[in-house]
Structure 1
Amino acid sequence: MPPTIRSTTLAVAAATALATALLTGAAPPADADATNTAGAAGPHCAGRARLHAPGAERQQADCLEELTTAGTVASGHTDPADWAGLTPKDLAVPTGVPGIQIDGYFPDTSTTNTNHGWNHDAQFVIRLPDHWNGGLVVAGSPGVREQYANDRAIGDWVLSRGYAFAATDKGNTGVAFHRDGQAPGDAVAEWNTRVTQLTRAARAVVAQRYHRPPSRTLATGMSNGGYLVRWQLENHPELFDGGVDWEGTLWRADGPNLLTFLPPALAAYPRYAAGGPEAEQAHSAMLAAGFPAGSEFLWPFHHSYYWDLTQRIYREELDPGFDGPAEAGTPFCAPGTPACDADYAYAQRPAQVHEAVAKIALTGRIGKPLITLHGTLDVLLPISQDSDVYAEMVRRAGRGGLLRYYRIEGGTHVDSLVDAFPDRLRPLTPCHRAAFTALEDWIGRGVRPPAGHTVPRDPTADPATLLTSCPLGG
């Protein structure tokens, strides 16, 4: 959700040397081509000069011996800072994926993304493996990160399975993303437009490279990227065959949303942490706001790095009038301070604020199969205030048959925290991979995934097992 974290814990996780062994057990997708379909397009990197993303203002196509981060870190075709803190330090990195990488940008007026020295937003990356399985995966970045944010958690793995992979920076980046757009909500609304734009362009590029369109196009992403999956399947199901939503952000005009559960945390947590006579009441207030019992060990970190910044920058995007001429409020202000976000009461804000949220709100009316997974110990987007609610929205919209929802016991918002608490947390990355392969079977073979349920954390499983296995049950 929030921008790249600079905490000691996550910095250590990001700096750890990446493993080079391919994660075992990665079978090809159900309807993968039996032969190397890239061969129909010619040898390695043939035809690179004729590839062009429709609508792109600028692009650069490079022939690479390695499209995964095992090679792109050294070649400069990714940015490790973009995906720092999102994955466990021991996550294996696949190798042996040669192909073409296209970097570029679509026309845009904002300039927050400095990658490549372009100082231009609406940047994208498209990767085209030589050994193609016929599919395309499209992702939007989590938080307010840039287009390479999914490279380690998602891109490496799907590329190793033969998918073409495309990702976007969503049209604005960084903690001042709210400066983009003409009206409240415009910056977030642009995220959805950019994913749609990239999907259409990437499908065209895939057809140029392999001489036929993709046989399946899948959307996936985490946090804000998961929100984008939900929105696309609600609003542009014609572009996709299905999606995997990894703890997507929920926006609803009537709540719950970020602006309804973060202010109570900002107000209550300091009193809880201080101890004394108010601590028990503050603890009850945290639980009432949706933060799950048993997650208390995660609260200090989230108070320091997540809750305050996230509340202020998203509130500035959707309700800039709350703090008058100030921009994104006052960090860690005490309740009672004028225009303090700890006192923010979304339900009492003017109608135009709710209208701004309505501009980006979800409905639950998905039009293609969707698998949602969410950790029960997520304390940035508490599960009871997010995916539990969205699953019910889908059911009430009459689309329950298109949804499988898995609550992952012991999962939290970013997998790097598993390195700090291996005895209490489990990584969601292998659960995402299990969900992705279940989606492949669902749309490719007609094999319906298990009914939605809470996936237990095996208390006897060691960290290595939890990093490579997440059975969804039968």
Structure 2
Amino acid sequence: MLPSNTDVTPPGRRRPRWRAGLCALLLATAGSGVLAAAAPSPAAGDRGPHTGVCSPDDLPRVPGAAYQQAVCLDELTTAGTVASGHTDPADYVGLTPKDLPTPSGVPGTQIDGYFPDTSTTNTDHGWNHDAQFVIRLPDHWNGGLVVAGTPGNREQYANDRAISDWVLARGYAYAATDKGNTGLAFYRDGRRPGDAIAEWNTRLTQLTRAARTVVEERYGRSPARTIATGISNGGYLVRWQLENHPELYDGGVDWEGTLWNSDGPNLLAFLPAALRAYPVHAAGGPGAGEAREAMYAAGYPAGSEFLWPYHYATYWDLTQRIYREELDPGYDGATEAGTPFCASGTPGCDTDYDYGTRPRAVHRAVDRIALTGRIGKPLITLQGTLDVLLPISRDGDVYARMVREAGRGPLLRYYRIEDGTHTDSLVDAFPGRLRPMTPCHHAAFTALERWLSGEGRPPAGHTVLRPKDADATALLTSCPLR
């Protein structure tokens, strides 16, 4: 659900600089490597294993892909892929602190392509084709695979700074999907309410299976460990995968995943409350105090007030309208995704939306994508206490309770990160008031590694306090989970 929607496709967006005129089996120089636009590939088992450093004459193929391009690169992290055009910085703008270190020194193979799909919201590479993916295979492999879906409605490179760079530097193979639809009008994909979001889950399952086969072909053996991780909507995918396809994974790290629950809470229940109360609070006057209490009652924590103006102007209204259109398109009749910032009382206004009173069909649409808490593999969840897009009391706290009530509590570690918020770029906008979540994700990931290796269980779930004497540099590089 990450608040990426307003900057997914900014005016003048620069697309990755793929060379023009590539055709099947053509080899051409691309940055520091060799790019191969591959013809439809045979099954992975029909070719020999790929071991050692990347060879342009022996590039792996992605099973089930309708199209792919493979390239040997001297650098798979954004330290090299920005210059070579093998990422798109517009995909990950706003997701990490500006001073986050960029690792380097990871040569290997990158494969870009797409699976068969009928929608065309993703325009990367000029393909105008959804279900795009990226797979990165480092020459020096640690035996593991990390798979991710994107936050918000972004495309497949959205995790490159926050996740891909870091796991590649640790030796993991990495794969990410655009989830099968992108952009602010993602709700146009599919025939029934909920289809677009349901496809996200299908696409991550599809990519995981394909990436595991690619890894086996490239290195000559299956991954010893497969970990799912993601931010916001990507965190939701981690939860769903571990509930529905635990056989594909060894564990997961859920970074502030979106909670979908047909009985509530979900964002369609708490965002309208913010749209009603915040303008009254901001106006001051005799109703301001009551409106502030209404914000607290809706889940927005005391102490987060400094974040409310930004989220009201940028995210709350937009997020409510487009996700409501996906799950309840009949609410505003023929109007598509409502009327921005409409006043209460306006017909079909999302400010007045009441999820609890909507027809049963709406709740059934949410139930199609709902979570149950019945995870089948170890999961570490983390969320910031100052998250005001998905308030922690209506999201992470609830999902942890669902896991315990489903009898799966021993498989979960849940860390509430004091002063963390939903978007790490806000750490730069409000210096000294927020804690970056990115290093806490790194700490959670390494804790999961130790857990899976039998080196010790992570600490019991708790609130990770922000060190009172830690400066910005220390907070950007460390987040002990104790």
Q: What TM-score does the superposition give when structure 1 sets the normalisation length?
A: 0.92
Within 5 Å, which residues of 2 pair with 1:33-432? 41-46=50-55, 49-432=58-441
Task: Give the deviation of 1:52 after TM superposition.
Answer: 1.1
Q: Who is 1:30 aligned against?
A: none
> 1:115-153 deviations in whole A, cap 9, x for unaligned?
000000000000000000000000000000000000000
The 1:93/1:4 distance shift into structure 2, 3 A limit, reads farther
Distance 1:301 1:406 in 2: 26
Task: Give the deviation of 1:41 after TM superposition.
Answer: 4.1
Are the aligned partners of 2:50 and 2:58 in contact in 1 as well (CA < 8 Å)? Answer: no
The 1:129/1:283 distance shift into structure 2, 3 A limit, reads same
Gap regions ≥5 residues in structure 1: 12-39
Are the aligned partners of 1:246 and 1:374 in contact in 2 as well (CA < 8 Å)? Answer: yes
Are the aligned partners of 1:48 and 1:100 in contact in 2 as well (CA < 8 Å)? Answer: no
Q: Who is 2:15 aligned against?
A: none
Which residue, out of 433, 440, 446, partners 1:437? 446
Task: Give the deviation of 1:46 after TM superposition.
Answer: 2.5
> 1:91-129 deviations in whole A, cap 9, x for unaligned?
000000000000000000000000000000000000000
Q: Who is 1:3 aligned against?
A: 4
Task: Give the deviation of 1:459 after TM superposition.
Answer: 1.7
Are the aligned partners of 1:251 and 1:357 in contact in 2 as well (CA < 8 Å)? Answer: yes
Distance 2:289 2:347 in 1: 26
Are the aligned partners of 1:178 and 1:317 in contact in 2 as well (CA < 8 Å)? Answer: yes
Q: Say which SS state the counterpart of residue 59 (structure 1) adopts.
A: strand
Q: Which amino acid aligns with 1:233?
A: L
> 1:365-392 deviations in whole A, cap 9, x for unaligned?
0000000000000000000000100000
Are the aligned partners of 1:318 and 1:353 in contact in 2 as well (CA < 8 Å)? Answer: yes
> 1:302-348 deviations in whole A, cap 9, x for unaligned?
00111000000000000000000000000000111111000000000
Q: Which amino acid aligns with 1:130?
A: D
Q: Say which SS state the counterpart of residue 90 (structure 1) adopts.
A: coil
Distance 2:5 2:274 in 1: 21
Distance 2:51 2:308 in 1: 54
Task: Give the deviation of 1:48 after TM superposition.
Answer: 5.7
Task: Give the deviation of 1:423 after TM superposition.
Answer: 1.1
> 1:413-446 deviations in whole A, cap 9, x for unaligned?
0000000112110000000000000000000124
Q: Which amino acid aligns with 1:169?
A: D
Are the aligned partners of 2:56 and 2:71 in contact in 1 as well (CA < 8 Å)? Answer: no
Equivalent residues, number: 443
Are the aligned partners of 2:5 and 2:184 in contact in 1 as well (CA < 8 Å)? Answer: no
| Identical counterparts, % of pairs | 75
The 1:254/1:275 distance shift into structure 2, 3 A limit, reads same
> 1:234-286 deviations in whole A, cap 9, x for unaligned?
00000000000000000000000010000000011001000011101110110
Distance 2:237 2:162 in 1: 17
Q: Say which SS state the counterpart of residue 317 (structure 1) adopts.
A: helix
Q: Which amino acid aligns with 1:319?
A: D
Q: Who is 2:32 aligned against?
A: none
Distance 1:42 1:207 in 2: 10
Q: Which amino acid aligns with 1:92?
A: P
Q: Which amino acid aligns with 2:335?
A: A
Q: Say which SS state the counterpart of residue 157 (structure 1) adopts.
A: helix
Q: Who is 2:36 aligned against?
A: none
Are the aligned partners of 1:105 and 1:124 in contact in 2 as well (CA < 8 Å)? Answer: yes
> 1:352-371 deviations in whole A, cap 9, x for unaligned?
00000000000000000000
Task: Give the deviation of 1:409 after TM superposition.
Answer: 0.1
Distance 1:159 1:4 in 2: 27
Q: Who is 2:40 aligned against?
A: none
Distance 2:410 2:145 in 1: 24
